[in-house]
Amino acid sequence: MPGPLAHLTVIELAGIGPGPFACMLLADLGATVIRVDRLPGPPSRGGLEDLMRNDGIVDRGRRSIAVNMKDPRGVEAVLRLVDSADVLIEGFRPGVAEKLGLGPEVCRARNARLVYGRMTGWGQRGPLSQAAGHDLNYIALSGALHAMGPADRPPAPPLNLVGDYGGGGMLLAVGVLAAHAEAQRSGQGQVVDAAMTDGAALLMAAQYGLMAKGFWQDRRESNFLDGAAHFYGTYECADGRFVSIGAIEPQFYQQLLALCGIDDPGFQKQWDSGEWPMLRSQLEALFRTRTRDDWCALLEGTDVCFAPVLSMKEAPAHPHNAARGTFVQADGVVQPAPAPRFDRTPAQLPPRAPLVGADTRALLARAGYAVADIEALCAAGVVHAGEAA
């Protein structure tokens, strides 16, 4: 059974970071994602692009056509694919797609129902829109980075999850699906401007709401969700590994105290922030008396709101993850499974990332090119037909 997006065709102008992640989400859910790759060439000078492009996991589920988009014949080939597509996704700086001849006006003149998704860090407009940047810079501008990490150290980068993926790729996926749903009613596509600065700010909605009510301090490690509170954080165990505690609600907190044998009346002042440093210090000493496995045996599966802090290598083997199939293995590579789950149109792990140009001939034929014309484009270096993956 194909996934819930089996009806959707997406053109992806190849890039790195959040755009490919959004396309992975769509491919995971059954969409046909056609990745328009550059012609194969020598490694780029920067290195990061080569490291992240055609990633075996994030780029799974694609079909690949390799095109010289500096050649008008290559641009025309892409536009002929756009003619029958539902969504196009690009992650260039503002104006680059237009210079290539693949901007939204050109594409939507040929396909009025096309949803044109644009993924950038700063957005299509604004004084920083043309500046270079990375995840860390975008979340810095949103207020999110300032809130993360210990109070006595610089803000801690949360990998590139908040900007690139949560505030970027997922935001773009939601945006293009919303625009596609609207196009089914109106018959008209539209441009979706997904900016990581906007997305990271959106992810901070709860914190801004708490601050508006006077329940959130605008400084690190001063609040109940940022590591200050003793009942919400991580603790080192006797074996040097860690556990996480999230006993916010009073009934969960009381169970934590009961199961850990804590009868100190000072712990009844759960929400007295002035007591948090002392109470945390006491919990730190307590958790160092047993190994992580010992604490799992005592607390896991209870309403304490507990989980061991697992490494990336440990996580796939945990019984809960194994039972749900949260991780899967394909071609010897362990990777997260498609999510969320659907009971009638379940998503399945799509094929691994294709080699660049693996589907060039088939996709040109799909766009209406005759065999002789396809071979002529290959011979002229306008397109590259790679070997099938």
Which residues are designated catalytic? Answer: 134, 164
Taking the C-alpha atoms of residue 138 and residue 49, their distance in angstroms, rounded to an integer, is 19
| Phi, psi (degrees; rounded to nearest 5) at 345 | -125, 65
Taking the C-alpha atoms of residue 46 and residue 27, their distance in angstroms, rounded to an integer, is 28
What CA–CA distances, in Å, run from 365 to 82, 230, 371, 372?
14, 62, 7, 10
Q: Which residue has the tokens 């501008």?
A: 141
Pairing of strands 62-67, 32-37: parallel
SS3 190: coil
Taking the C-alpha atoms of residue 88 and residue 104, their distance in angstroms, rounded to an integer, is 9
Which segments within 126-278 are labelled E, that is strand? 191-195, 232-236, 242-246
Which segments within 248-385 are labelled E, that is strand? 306-308, 327-330, 333-336, 383-384
SS3 65: strand
Handedness of CA 172, 133, 138, 136 (dihedral sign): positive
Taking the C-alpha atoms of residue 255 and residue 237, their distance in angstroms, rounded to an integer, is 20
In this structure, are residues 196 and 135 in contact, taking their beta carbons and an 8 Å threshold?
Answer: yes
Q: Which residue has the tokens 């712990």?
A: 267
DSSP 274: G
